[in-house]
Chains A and B, each alone.
Chain A
Amino acid sequence: MAGRVAGKVAFITGAGRGQGRSHAIRLAEEGADIIAVDICRDYDTVGYGMSTEADLAQTVKDVEALDRRIIVAQADVRDAAALKTAVDDGVAQLGHLDIVCANAGICTVQSWDEVTPAVWQDTLDTNLTGVWNTMVACAPHLIAAGGGSIICTSSTAGIKGLPFLAPYVAAKHGVVGIARTMANELAQHKIRVNTVHPTGVNTPMVEGLGGLNPLIERDPNLGPIFVNTLPVEAVEARDISNAVLFLASDEARYVTGLEFTVDAGNTIR
């Protein structure tokens, strides 16, 4: 059986590990070639380490083990020029672009009065402007291809006002706004734009959020907002990748402007 995205090419940001690597593998399993970028460098403002060049090399190995092609570059989504170069170079080598996963993101945990200007700026620059830069770099290639699917990674924090995550919540809400606008503007080119909204995912980023529990203990009334409806504490990266695969495939050819929660019912409580 041909894969569900056979013959397509996908650009993925934050592909060094976590959800980004999982998306690369899942799409490759279903026949896509991959253009992968990751910053592979730590932030001064983020308490956990970013992925490394070795992580990105592992993504390459995993995709190549599936007999798919992959082009990688080290690129910071905050740097529009670097991102454009990476996309243009990848498309030059793989021939076209069909799928875009704007996945790269950072997260810090603190109460509102502990948000420093640097944390605010880094989070907005990466999680919101980085998504915008990704769309702008990729859209011309999708238009040239005659259509495509853009999937932006938002969060339950793009729907609810999760406490102790103010910059993250602001950026993830912003992602929904630009996705809706781009869904309208790009529809004439048969380009679809959707967001996915994971609840907690078992990845290095979420493991880096150790500081949440002491904050909840300060105001236990806020604890339930993080609780899922389905009896599962966190989902796996592959669960998000399966939603990305559906949205990327032609099975979703008329699905656009959707906020797709993969959140074990977190946002309906």
Chain B
Amino acid sequence: MAGRVAGKVAFITGAARGQGRSHAIRLAQEGADIIAVDVCADMPGMPYAGATEQDLAETVKEVEALDRRIVAAKADVRDFGAVQAALDDGVAQLGRLDIVSANAGIGSSPCAAEELAEQTWQDMIDVNLTGVWHTAKAAIPHLIAGGRGGSIVLTSSAAGLQAYANIAHYVSAKHGVVGLMRTLALELAPHSIRVNSIHPTQVDTPMIQNEATYRLFRPDLDHPTRADFEPASQAMNVLPIPWVDAVDISNAVLFLASDEARYITGVPLPVDAGAVIK
């Protein structure tokens, strides 16, 4: 059976590990070739180690093991020129662009809004909101030029639909992504380019499995652990699970990327175990 995105090319940011790598693998399993970028560096204010060049190389290896092509580059989504150069090169090599996954993002340490350092605020907005816009801005000309429409999937968060205390900068950036998604959906509809956002609850990746996140959820403990975090994380959701797997997000990306969703645009799609209806 032909894959559900056979013959398409997908651009994925933050593809070295976590959700981004999972998206690359899932789309490649269903027949897509991949253009992958990642900053491959620690990020300012990020309370956990960033992805590495070895991580990105592992993504390349896993996609190639599926007999798909992949063009990978180191690029920081805050640097529009770098994103554009990486994507232009990828499209030159792979011949087309159909799918965009604006996935790169950072978490942060918990902090009351009035105590957030200005730079911490700015870094968050730069990566999690402006980085998403840069990704779309670089990709849209290729999608339009292809003349076949396309699917842009922006990674927001449950925190893009409702507030969580002590991460004002993250909530603001992720809400901003929804506004960008809706506007792009309107602007790009005449080209049959669809734009949707995905809103994960906690995903079992390095972005949440670190002590800063554990402290956000368990301020009552000095050194909370994954085991301490688990019940607090589950309390966010209505389905009886503490977090989802990266592949659950990838399956939603795959559906939105595929022609099965050819008339779906402007949807904020929660993959959140019911966190936003609770």
Chain A contacts to B: CB under 8 angstroms? 1, 180, 183-184, 187-188, 190, 192, 199, 229-232, 235, 239, 242-243, 245-246, 251-258, 260-265, 267-269
Which residues in B have their C-beta under 8 angstroms from that of A230? 189, 192, 194, 263, 265
Given contacts A256-B274, A268-B265, contact A246 B255 (CB under 8 A): yes
Which residues in B have their C-beta under 8 angstroms from that of A199? 263
Which residues in A have their C-beta under 8 angstroms from that of B238? 183-184, 187-188, 256-257
Given contacts A230-B192, A231-B189, contact A254 B244 (CB under 8 A): yes
Assess whether B56 is interfacial by the CB under 8 Å rule: no
CA distance A264 to B194 in the complex (A): 9
CA distance A44 to B103 in the complex (A): 53
Interface string of B224-258 (1 = CB under 8 A from A): 00000000000001111100100010011011000
Given contacts A239-B262, A252-B252, A254-B248, contact A269 B186 (CB under 8 A): yes
Assess whether B65 is interfacial by the CB under 8 Å rule: no
| Closest chain B residue to A199, Cβ basis | B263
Evaluate contact between A1 and B1: CB separation under 8 angstroms.
yes
CA distance A230 to B266 in the complex (A): 10
Interface residue from B186, B263, B273, B277 paired with A232 (Cβ < 8 Å) = B263
Q: Quote the shortest CB–CB distance from A148 to chain B (angstroms).
A: 12
Given contacts A190-B239, A230-B194, A252-B251, contact A235 B263 (CB under 8 A): yes
Which residues in B have their C-beta under 8 angstroms from that of A254? 201, 239, 241, 244, 248, 271-273
Evaluate contact between A187 and B266: CB separation under 8 angstroms.
no
Evaluate contact between B266 and A265: CB separation under 8 angstroms.
yes
Given contacts A254-B241, A255-B269, contact A265 B248 (CB under 8 A): no
| Closest chain B residue to A147, Cβ basis | B239
Number of A-B contacts (CB under 8 A): 107
Evaluate contact between B274 and A265: CB separation under 8 angstroms.
no
Assess whether B49 is interfacial by the CB under 8 Å rule: no
Assess whether B182 is interfacial by the CB under 8 Å rule: yes
B residues 11-26 touching A (CB-CB < 8 Å): none
Evaluate contact between A246 and B260: CB separation under 8 angstroms.
yes
Given contacts A184-B278, A187-B238, A187-B240, contact A265 B185 (CB under 8 A): yes
Evaluate contact between B190 and A258: CB separation under 8 angstroms.
no
Interface residue from B251, B267, B273 paired with A261 (Cβ < 8 Å) = B267
Interface residues on B, range: 35 or more
Offer 10 A-B interface pairs, CB within 8 angstroms, sorted by A: A184-B238, A184-B277, A230-B192, A239-B262, A243-B261, A252-B252, A255-B269, A255-B272, A257-B274, A260-B269
Evaluate contact between B182 and A183: CB separation under 8 angstroms.
no
CA distance A188 to B274 in the complex (A): 11
Among A190, A246, A252, the one with the most B-chain Cβ atoms within 10 Å of its Cβ is A246
Evaluate contact between A257 and B270: CB separation under 8 angstroms.
yes
| Closest chain A residue to B277, Cβ basis | A257
Evaluate contact between B239 and A192: CB separation under 8 angstroms.
yes
Which residues in A have their C-beta under 8 angstroms from that of B261? 242-243, 262
Interface residue from B239, B254, B260 paired with A187 (Cβ < 8 Å) = B239
Q: Quote the shortest CB–CB distance from B148 to chain A (angstroms).
A: 14
Assess whether B111 is interfacial by the CB under 8 Å rule: no
Which residues in B have their C-beta under 8 angstroms from that of A269? 186
Given contacts A229-B189, A269-B186, contact A251 B264 (CB under 8 A): no
Assess whether B276 is interfacial by the CB under 8 Å rule: yes
Q: Quote the shortest CB–CB distance from B195 to chain A (angstroms).
A: 9
Other A-B pairs beyond A268-B182, A268-B266, 20, CB < 8 Å: A187-B273, A192-B239, A229-B186, A229-B265, A230-B194, A231-B190, A235-B263, A242-B261, A252-B252, A252-B271, A254-B244, A256-B239, A257-B277, A260-B264, A262-B263, A262-B264, A265-B185, A265-B186, A268-B185, A269-B186
Among B186, B265, B271, B273, the one with the most A-chain Cβ atoms within 10 Å of its Cβ is B265
Evaluate contact between A267 and B271: CB separation under 8 angstroms.
no
| Closest chain B residue to A1, Cβ basis | B1
Evaluate contact between A231 and B192: CB separation under 8 angstroms.
yes
| Closest chain B residue to A197, Cβ basis | B267
Q: Quote the shortest CB–CB distance from A206 to chain B (angstroms).
A: 15
Which residues in A have their C-beta under 8 angstroms from that of B201? 254
Evaluate contact between B260 and A242: CB separation under 8 angstroms.
yes
| Closest chain B residue to A234, Cβ basis | B263
Evaluate contact between A256 and B186: CB separation under 8 angstroms.
no
Which residues in B have their C-beta under 8 angstroms from that of A192? 239
Q: Quote the shortest CB–CB distance from A182 to chain B (angstroms).
A: 10
CA distance A199 to B186 in the complex (A): 16
